[in-house]
Amino acid sequence: MVMTFVLPGNLYAQENIDPIENDDNNKNKDWGFKISPYAWLAGQATDVEGEKIRQSFQDLTSLTNFGFQLAVSVRFKRFVFSSDGTIAQLGTNVTEGPLRVKMNINQIILDTKIGFLIFSDIDYSKVNETIRGWSIEGNIGAKYWKNDVNVDYAIYLGETEIAPGSFNEPQEWTDLMLGIRSKIYLNKRVLLGIAGDIGGFGIGNSSIISWDFTFVNTFKVLNFLDITAGYRTFKYRRVDGEGDTEIETKVTAFGPMLGVSFVF
């Protein structure tokens, strides 16, 4: 979840700051920095060659051994650089009769973008400290995916292991992403954000199509601390392999988000 606050227009244009991110002692700053750890309480729907797998947030939590999500953004005037990363390790053990299977998935997702403030209409009043208005930012970047699947299996007769084996299935690709973000200022403490990205386009080893949509509510608690709650969903469609080994995969993830942001 990246909520990048960039330079608004009108009365604050000459001061090069975002009013919701800065107090009266922090003006005339061309630069801004934000770091945001967050949690995405997502469920997932996966379709692989007609086979449908549906997993709730509770299902995914039971499989997750480790997970960490962090977003950072750096602003310079009308430009903003943002990066959103996820590192996770999932694992499960399955026993079906004499067959025992142990599976581990190591996953890395890194979404990096550069954005530019296209339009801003912000009305700020220093008299009663009210803020109203909205802005639009366009961005371009790349989303990197890495899924490393390791499976160990064996057949047991009693406690005696026979016919053990293992295999590794690495997946790695990068999707070009184009996006737009809109921010709506309700007052000095509350901001609504809507973001949408689309990409992939089948370029090289990328997804046939990939998109990402996010809606968030940001509440300023302190001058340096924001709390964000919202909802996110993304989907990608890929085709891997060739000929008889070709596999089409569709993955959709969806669910609420909650995070904090430290603003500098």
CATH of the domain at 69: 2.40.128.100
Q: How far apart are CA 164 and CA 170, in angstroms?
A: 21
What was the pLDDT predicted at 244?
Answer: 78
The count of domains in the chain is 1
The answer as to whether 61 is a domain residue is yes
User: Does residue 4 sit within a domain?
Assistant: no
With 0-12 / 13-18 / 19 or more C-beta atoms within 10 angstroms meaning exposed / middle / buried, residue 167 is: exposed
State mean pLDDT over 171-193.
Answer: 93
17: which DSSP letter? -
* In a domain? residue 177: yes
pLDDT at 237: 95
Q: pTM of the full predicted structure? A: 0.80
The pLDDT score that the predictor gives to residue 25 is 41
Quick one: DSSP state of residue 11?
Answer: G
Q: Rounded CA gap, 50 and 198, in Å? A: 24
Mean pLDDT of the chain: 83
For residue 172, the enclosing domain spans: 10-263
| 67 within a domain of the structure (yes/no) | yes
- Phi/psi of residue 122, nearest 5 degrees: -115, 130
